[in-house]
Structures are given as C-alpha cells and as structure tokens.
C-alpha cells in the first residue's frame, strides 16, 4: 500500500492510500491493522482528493456509489451540513422539511446513520434503498413484537 493520508474520523484513526495490487484507493482503521511491514520504497503520489474521498466513503465504509435523496426535518440541517459539508445540495421543501441530494457510498454505515434519525429522516430515492430501509425497519419492529429473545 502507498500511504496517502492519516485521518481522524468517528473516534478512530484511518490510513488512506492506494492499494497497489488493484490500483484503487482504500482505507484501513489503524487499530485493526495487523502484520505491518515498513519498507524504504518510494512512490509518486497519484492525483488524489482527500476531501472528496472522505465525503464519498461515508462513515468510512466502502460500497457502491449512488445518488441518494433524503428528506430531513429542518432541525437536522446542521447535522447534515456537518456530515456533507456546506456545499451540500439541500433544498427546503416546506416549513418542516428539507431535501438532501448527494452522492454517497451505499453501506451499512450509511443505512445505520439514516436510521439514527428515526422518523426525522426518510430516503426518497433510489427505490431499492427505500426498500432496504423498509426491510431493516421491519426487522427492528419484529424484534420488539415478540417476547422471545
């Protein structure tokens, strides 16, 4: 791996760099790395935008890049701006809601982050992500509908 950056995200350090075998940028949580070998090899850093990578690798999970629309309650606007930056594409829908349209990597991290906001966040598109949200919510509801552990 050719190391490009070390960042602090969600209470952990991550090493970001180019994985040589596949020529792709990847990230690794430092406290989970094992069998590390340092070399004296040098490399030329390829063109890389750290901010873009971090924004697209939402919650530091890899996944398919998608365009997603999420409706939020207005009081979450600062949370969304903190997560997606002040250039986030947000539009006020009414006196209680706004719509975020963005690119993100579809991952458990993204789904779980959206679910964190309960009824104050709703995925609008794409439809297959809406369906994934429905399935997760049904699984959670089923857990509480029975007395079985």
Whole-number Å distance between alpha carbons of 92 and 87: 15
Mean predicted confidence (pLDDT) in 96-109:
89
Whose CA is closest to 20, among 43, 51, 52? 43
Residue 63, domain extent: 59-145
Indicate whether 105 and 89 sit together in one domain.
yes
Q: Count the domains in the chain.
A: 2
Q: Is the pTM of this model over 0.75?
A: no
Tell me 142's DSSP state.
Answer: H
List the helix and strand counts (H, then E) for the chain: 4, 7
Q: What is the pLDDT of residues 56-101, one digit of tens each?
A: 665 545 678 889 999 999 999 988 887 777 778 999 999 999 999 9
Task: For residue 92, list its beta bridge partners.
Answer: 98
Indicate whether 67 and 138 sit together in one domain.
yes
Indicate whether 72 and 138 sit together in one domain.
yes
The SS3 of residue 17 is strand
């Amino acid at each position: 791996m050719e190391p490009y950056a070390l960042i602090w995200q969600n209470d952990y350090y991550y090493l970001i760099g180019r994985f040589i075998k596949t020529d792709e940028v990847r990230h690794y949580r430092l406290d989970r790395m094992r069998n590390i070998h340092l070399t004296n090899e040098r490399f030329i850093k390829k063109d890389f935008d750290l901010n873009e990578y971090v924004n697209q690798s939402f919650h530091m999970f890899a996944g398919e890049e998608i365009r997603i629309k999420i409706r939020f309650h207005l009081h979450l606007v600062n949370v969304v701006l903190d997560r997606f930056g002040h250039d986030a594409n947000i539009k006020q829908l009414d006196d209680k809601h706004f719509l975020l349209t963005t690119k993100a990597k579809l991952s458990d991290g993204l789904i779980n982050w959206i679910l964190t906001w309960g009824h104050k966040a709703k995925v609008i598109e794409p439809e297959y992500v809406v369906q994934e949200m429905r399935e997760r919510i049904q699984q959670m509801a089923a857990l509480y509908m029975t007395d079985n552990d």
